[in-house]
Amino acid sequence: MQEPDREAVATAVQRVAGMLQRPDQLDKVEQYRRREARKKASVEARLKAAIQSQLDGVRTGLNQLHNALNDVKDIQQSLGNLSKDWRQSINTIESLKDVKDAVVQHSQLAAAVENLKNIFSVPEIVRETQDLIEQGELLEAHRKLMDLECSRDDLMYEQYRMDSKNTHDMNLIQNYFGEVQHLSDELAKQLWMVLQRSITTVRKDPTLVVSVVRIIEREEKIDRRMMDRKKQTGFIPPGRPKKWKEKMFVVLDKTIGTRIEGSQAETRESDKMWLVRHLEIIRRYMLDDLVVVKNLMAQCFPATYNIFTKMLELYHQALSSRIQELASEDLEANEIVSLLTWVLNTYHSSEMMGNADLMPEVDVKTMKALLSQDVVDQLLHKYMATLQSNIIAWLRKALETDKKDWDKNTEPEADQDGYYQTTLPAIVFQMFEQNLQVAAQISEELKKKVLHLCLQQMNAFLNRYSEESQLYKEDHLRNRQLPACYVQYMIAVINNCQTFRESIVSLKRKYLRSDEDFMASGSSNMDSILDNIANDGCRSLLDEVFMDLEPHLNDLMTRKWLGGSNSVDTICVTIEDYFNDFARIKTHYKQKMTIKAHRKVVTEYIKAIMQRRICFRNAEERKEGAERMIKEAEQFKFLFKRLTSGFGEETDWLCDTIIDIAEVIKLTDPSLLYLEVSTLVTRYPDLRDDHIAALLAMRGDASREMKQTIIETVEQNQGQRQQGQNYTPIFKDIIVPSLPTLPKLLK
């Protein structure tokens, strides 16, 4: 207590010191004293009030505890008196047992008296009920059945109350009313029969369906009442609960399942289109039935039944089960397509569940799938495997058929532009088109897979096509007289390559939506194969031409040629004759082929020069030979200008090579020979020293020293030659036969 006192004094001193810091504050000392006195009085008053309040609360609590104690004593005394009175009344309650039994017996007898009339008339009511059921008066029959069941259940209930262990009397009552259960079963059969035909019945006689629903509703109410009584008393009449509402949906489910399964009119053995017909019948039946349920049947049922939604679920479940059964069978490729197209597209389309007559109750977006994704994937995998084997077989058969046409003695058909062709590209891409159209009906993803498969198999097919065209050429070379139309069919093979390329591009543009997919699909490998086939075909045709030209080419640069041979005339006529047939080749390949033929003719002509078949004896022969070479070069130039007209590519420079060589031969002043040869070497950088040696040897007038000087100079400048960007080498592939006398000649 001393410590708080000291602290209070110190605080007061500090506070007073704060008030009296200036002289003028001394005048206010009395005022400060009165203010502090008021604060002190106020604090003391609040403290007294708080203490008084606490004392009043304690006093009140003590009074309440005292009253509670008195109440507990009174209750204890009352419980004692009650216990004493209860012990005294036990004997009295036991003496009332006979009265209780009498009350139960009286209640039973009262129930018997109340149902006495019905009890005696049970056989008659049973017969009447049976007649009503047979006559189709279902509501009246059910009313009488309810009366019979009510009498039976009341009697059994009273017996159960009196003595639940007395099974003899219970069995006696049940046997007496034994026909009631039979009537209930018969009535149920009639109800189920009506429900089985409800789709048809509701159109003709909707009141019959309404009667069935009313009977089921009555039974449901009775079931609920009996179940409530069972909870209270433990008694349940025989045959309860009937659960006819639940059985009604079971019957409808079986009926719908039977209707869907029974729509298969044909078997797989009797009709290849059995699945298409089966699915179409299902579609028509199901759509018609649901429209009837929505517009007519729903009005015959209470709204709580939500009958349309329930029937829609039953139809969907039954259909799903049937579709799964079909999917588990060993279906062919076309059957898999029909099934998946129907499941993934038709089912949700306006032709079926998306039909306007079912809106808005049916929302196809929220409907479950008929087949799980795993089953769909399995079917698609099986379809792709089957399709692959079918495509391989179809392509093999198409190629075999086309090969048989190659050996015919009649020319192949021509298209609208007059180009030879066979039916192979049309057959192949018609098959691809059909399969892609089918795949597009199922899904976009499957369409891409089928397109990829077609392109993949097309790649393998083109390799076989290339092999067969090579074999065709080899067979022809064994006997050039056979086949009779070899050239025409080889032209058709070349043209087919262009058709294949165009068809591939068209197919990809048609079935690939985006340019990105188009580029990603790739066809460079097939383009390369097609180019190889076409180039090989063109090469084989040119080989055919030059086989016929070989004897005439061998006559070039010989004494016979110098004496006035018409070999070049024959060569030009032969080439023109062949190229009349080659006019049936499509422009792209004909252009390349004509240029190759032109180059080949010029190359063969230069080869004849380089093979030293002739050595001019004097200037007159050199002049005559050179002029003949220039004349024949002009013949070739005129021929190929006519053949290449319209191509837009000039090849005159090839014949100019012959003219330039002729100018070297024609030169009369040997001293200018080095200059002329140098000019020739500059113009044709691929001209080698052996070519120059052969050319000088053909002239026949160059001295050994001149030949040696010219060749050595060419060899020295060989490394300094620069080939122009637009120059196409022509001497590179011309081989000069070596002569054992060449070293002596150089010396």
DSSP string for residues in 669-694: -GGGHHHHHHHHHHH-TT--HHHHHH
Q: What is the pLDDT of residue 742?
A: 43
Distance CA 108, CA 114 (A): 10
Return the pLDDT at 71.
Answer: 92
Q: Which residues of 578-613 are buried (b: 16+ CB within 10 A; e: fewer)?
A: bbeebebbbeebbbbbbbebbbbbbbbbbbbbbbbb
Q: What is the mean pLDDT of residues 351-371?
A: 88
Residue in 670, 669, 668, 665 with CA at minimum distance from that of residue 680: 665
- Residue 603, φ and ψ in degrees, nearest 5: -60, -45
Q: 227-231, 397-401, 509-513: lowest mean pLDDT where?
A: 509-513
As a whole number of angstroms, the distance between CA 561 and CA 552 comes to: 10
CB 505 within 8 Å of CB 433: no
What the block records as the tokens of 466 is 């290339």
Q: Which of 402, 391, 372 is nearest to 439 (CA)?
A: 391
State whether residue 560 is helix, strand or coil.
Answer: helix
Q: What's the confidence (pLDDT) of residue 375? A: 92
- Contacting residues for 309 by C-beta, under 8 A, at least 6 apart: 361
Is the preceding omega at residue 241 within 30 degrees of 0, hence cis?
yes
Query: Can the peptide bond before residue 412 be classed as cis, meaning omega within 30 degrees of 0?
Result: no
Contact criterion met (CB below 8 Å) for 608 and 560: no
**Is 435 in contact with 506 (CB distance < 8 Å)?**
no
Question: What are the tokens at 235?
Answer: 């008694």
Q: What is the pLDDT of residue 673?
A: 85
- Please, what sign has the CA dihedral across residues 81, 85, 87, 88? positive
Give residue 406's pLDDT.
Answer: 94
Distance (Å, whole) CA 178 – CA 688: 125
**pLDDT > 90? residue 330:** no
Q: What is the reported pLDDT for 163?
A: 66
> In terms of Cα–Cα distance, which of 544, 531, 528 is closest to 489?
544
Quickly state the pLDDT bin for 725 (edges 50, 70, 90): low
Contact 239, 158 (CB under 8 A): no
Q: Residue 119 has what pLDDT? A: 64
Query: Tokens for 549?
Result: 């030209």
Do 377-537 and 555-746 come out as alike in CATH topology?
yes
Residue 240 pLDDT level (bands cut at 50, 70, 90): confident
What pLDDT shows up at residue 718? 58
Range name among 122-136, 138-152, 291-305, 708-722 with the lowest pLDDT average: 708-722
Least confident range from 484-498, 569-583, 681-695: namely: 681-695
| The pair of three-digit structure tokens given for residue 328, joined into one six-digit string | 């588990």
Average pLDDT over residues 319-345: 90
* 144, 132 Cβ separation under 8 angstroms: yes
d(CA 562, CA 626) in angstroms, rounded, equals: 10
Environment class of residue 390 by beta-carbon count within 10 Å: exposed (0-12), middle (13-18) or buried (19+)?
Answer: middle
Residues 140 and 133: their CA atoms lie apart, in Å, by 9
Q: Give SS3 for 648.
A: coil
The pLDDT score that the predictor gives to residue 118 is 59
Region of poorest pLDDT, from 228-242, 282-296, 455-469:
228-242
Task: Tell me: pLDDT of 739 over 90.
Answer: no
Name the least confident of 21-25, 130-134, 137-141, 216-220.
21-25
Residue 303, C-beta contacts closer than 8 angstroms, at least 6 positions apart? none
Tell me what percent of the residues of the chain surpass a pLDDT of 70. Answer: 90
Tokens 């795949």 correspond to 439
Average pLDDT across the chain, whole number = 86
377-537: CATH number: 1.10.357.50
Q: DSSP character for 736?
A: P
What type of residue is 689?
D
Average pLDDT over residues 244-260: 91
425: preceding bond cis by omega (within 30 degrees): no
For residue 500, pLDDT over 90 is answered with yes
Residue 338 CA to its chain's centroid (Å):
15
Q: What is the pLDDT of residues 128-173, one digit of tens each?
A: 888 888 888 888 988 888 888 887 877 787 777 776 666 776 777 7
Please give the span between the terminal C-alpha atoms of the chain, in angstroms, as a whole number.
148
Q: What is the DSSP string of 427-485?
A: HHHHHHHHHHHHHHHH-HHHHHHHHHHHHHHHHHHHHHHHHHHHHHHHHHHH-TT-STT
Residue with the larger pLDDT of the pair 746 and 432: 432
Q: Is the dihedral of CA 288, 289, 294, 295 positive or negative?
A: positive
Residue 522 above 60 pLDDT? no
Quote the CA–CA distance of 398 and 425 in Å, as a whole number.
Answer: 9
Judge whether 189 and 251 are in contact, CB under 8 Å.
no
How large is the average pLDDT for residues 296-311?
A: 90
| Secondary-structure percent of the chain, ordered helix, strand, coil, rounded to 5 | 80, 0, 20
Class of domain 555-746: mainly alpha
Q: Would you state the torsion angle of the CA atoms of residues 433, 436, 440, 443, taken in this order, to the nearest 10 degrees?
A: 180
Tell me if residue 639 falls in helix, strand or coil.
Answer: helix
Buried b (16+ CB within 10 A) or exposed e, 138-168: beebbebbebbbebbbbbbbbbbeeeeeeee
Return the pLDDT at 570: 95
Instruction: Classify residue 331 by burial, with Cβ atoms within 10 Å: 0-12, 13-18, 19+.
Output: buried
What tokens does 690 get? Answer: 């052996």
- Tell me: pLDDT of 747 over 50: no
Spatial separation of the C-alpha atoms in residues 486 and 24, rounded to whole Å: 143
Q: Above 80 in pLDDT, residue 648?
A: no
Determine the Cα–Cα distance for residues 535 and 135; give it in Å rounded to an integer: 91
d(CA 326, CA 687): 77
- 121 vs 602, residue with greater confidence: 602
- CB burial string 529-558: b at 16+ within 10 A, e below: bbeebbbbbbebbbebbbeebeebbbbbbe
The two three-digit tokens of residue 672, written as one number: 């200018």
- Please give the pLDDT value at position 745: 45
The contacts of residue 104 (CB under 8 Å, 6+ apart) are 161, 162
> Is-contact 364 354, C-beta < 8 A?
yes
Is 344 in contact with 353 (CB distance < 8 Å)?
no
**Domain boundaries along the sequence of the chain:** 2-90, 100-242, 253-371, 377-537, 555-746
Contact, 609 vs 579, CB < 8 A?
no
Name the residue among 59, 237, 33, 220 with its Cα closest to residue 152. Answer: 237
pLDDT of residue 746: 46
Mean pLDDT value across residues 632-647: 88
